Amino acid sequence: MSARRAQISPWAPFEDRRRARDEKKHAVLRMAARLFLDVGYHRATLNDVATRLNITKPALYNYFRSKEDILEECYRLGQQMVDEAIAAIDAEGGDGLTRLRKLIRAYAQLMTIDFGMCLVRLDDRELSEEAYRRVRAEKRQDDLAFRRYIEAGAADGSIVACDAKLAAFAIAGSLNWIGHWYRADGAYSADQIADHFANLLTTGLEAKSARARSPSGKNAQKTSTEPGNRSRKISP
């Protein structure tokens, strides 16, 4: 088989190997993230991580330079998803309220997966000075995205005038908190939470005229499938 594949592409074996390596690396990351979240970064030993992957501790060093390097990657993966969400929302356009709701929904969803949780539950002070600064800067960017949308909404009339900074903090806080209480086997699915929070956190911000203008338009672009009128389910 490998002979046949070699005819198709002499690079296939290379690719295979690289992919296998990347997959293993990712498996380490997933396990590490799980453990970091479950017991905390400090109490999660590399031995734990390795043992649960059926390898030995030094084997981890084939993929990462240090424990902190693993942590850094966890942050990177989580942050990357946030970045992509923001970039997509920015690309799609729409008024401030619409974009804010999209971001809330996307961010809420991220808070229900491990790498997203890592962003808000792990202590970034464990990172090296350099990585710490990078992560902090990225987090600030995320917060600024919320603020940007609020301010845009205030400008385009979709959101009432308010202190954008505090409002962004309030929203981000609500969302980050999801990473602490969400359980995959809990009462709410990630989608449900995302929808609920998109409503919950923007009802107070909606400009009255906006409500008049687009009574249901606010839901026009939401990605999640939802049966019937959500506003009846989560009324505030």
List interacting residues with a second copy (CB under 8 A).
Answer: 39-40, 42-43, 123, 125-126, 159-163, 165-167, 169-178, 180-181, 187-188, 193, 196-197, 200-205, 233-236
Residue 128 interacts with DNA (CB under 7 A): yes or no? no
Residue 12 interacts with DNA (CB under 7 A): yes or no? no
Site string for DNA, 53-72 (x = CB under 7 A): --xxxxx-xx--xxxx----
Pick from 6, 9, 11, 17 the residue near DNA by CB under 7 A.
17
DSSP state at residue 66: S
CB within 8 Å of 27: residues ≥ 6 apart: 53
- Minimal distance in Å, beta carbon 24 to DNA? 6
Q: How far is Cα of residue 111 from the mean position of the Cα atoms in its chain?
A: 5
- Minimal distance in Å, beta carbon 162 to DNA? 44
Contact 50, 57 (CB under 8 A): yes
DSSP state at residue 224: S
Pick from 46, 131, 167, 190 the residue near DNA by CB under 7 A.
46
Q: Which stretch binds DNA (CB under 7 A): 30-38, 44-52, 100-108, 157-165?
A: 44-52
Contact 159, 213 (CB under 8 A): no
**Of DNA, a second copy, none, which one does residue 59 interact with (CB within 5 to 8 Å by kind)?**
DNA
**Of a second copy, DNA, none, which one does residue 24 interact with (CB within 5 to 8 Å by kind)?**
DNA
Q: How far apart are CA 88 and CA 210, in angstroms?
A: 24
Residue whose CB is less far from a second copy, 84 or 204: 204
**Of a second copy, DNA, none, which one does residue 65 interact with (CB within 5 to 8 Å by kind)?**
DNA
The number of C-alpha atoms within 13 Å of 200 and in the hemisphere containing its C-beta is 16
Residue 51 interacts with DNA (CB under 7 A): yes or no? no
| β-pair partners for 159 | 206
Give the residue carrying structure tokens 């987090």. Answer: 139
Question: Which of 114, 234, 129, 90 has the alpha carbon at shortest distance from 182?
Answer: 114
| β-pair partners for 206 | 159
Burial class (CB in 10 A: 0-12, 13-18, 19+), 2: exposed
- Minimal distance in Å, beta carbon 103 to a second copy? 15
* Residues at the contact surface with DNA, assessed by CB under 7 A: 17, 20-21, 24, 43-47, 50, 55-59, 61-62, 65-68
